[in-house]
């Protein structure tokens, strides 16, 4: 083996640093992407205008602002009175704006899977008067 082949076969310190930086960058990109993965959620949706509120069935003490005009139009077509609670199944991404400690939660809708009147006994933990959490007109 001549000297040129031995040099190419040995890893250099510079090459291993570049590989490590690339590896770290790839891990960060994967972690960031995993945090933004869409999820399906069931709950109660109420709207008074173009932005509504979503109350997940499994977390009644949590409310998400849902600024989605498409969902708002479907809601208006499905209700007989304003602020009527409807059962929805949504696919989208949970978001938070403002402070990481007390920022506002909102849900970015990617797809409305289902919207219909709430059935008896559905989402029993979301039973408090919704008017207490909605802005007054």
Fold category of 39-132 in CATH = OB fold (Dihydrolipoamide Acetyltransferase, E2P) (2.40.50)
For residue range 105-130, what is the model confidence (pLDDT) as tens digits? 889 999 999 999 999 889 888 865 55
Coil, strand, or helix at residue 62? coil
Q: Which residues does 131 contact at the CB level (< 8 Å), separation at least 6? A: 83
Question: Residue ranges per domain, the chain?
Answer: 3-35, 39-132
State which H helix or E strand residue 29 sits in.
helix 13-35
For the chain, percent of residues with pLDDT exceeding 90: 36
Report yes or no: 89 and 119 within 8 Å, Cβ to Cβ: no
């Amino acid at each position: 083996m001549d000297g040129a082949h031995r040099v190419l076969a040995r890893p250099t310190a510079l090459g291993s640093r570049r590989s490590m930086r690339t590896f770290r960058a790839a891990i960060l990109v994967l972690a960031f992407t995993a945090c933004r993965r869409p999820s399906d959620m069931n709950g109660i949706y109420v709207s008074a205008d173009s932005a509504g509120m979503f109350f997940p069935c499994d977390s009644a003490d949590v409310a998400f602002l849902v600024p989605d005009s498409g969902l708002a139009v479907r809601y208006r077509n499905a209700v007989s009175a304003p602020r009527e609670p409807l059962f929805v199944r949504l696919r989208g991404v949970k978001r938070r704006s403002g402070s990481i400690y007390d920022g506002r939660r909102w849900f970015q809708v990617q797809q409305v899977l289902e919207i219909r009147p709430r059935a008896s006994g559905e989402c029993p933990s979301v039973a408090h008067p919704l008017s207490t959490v909605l802005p007054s007109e």
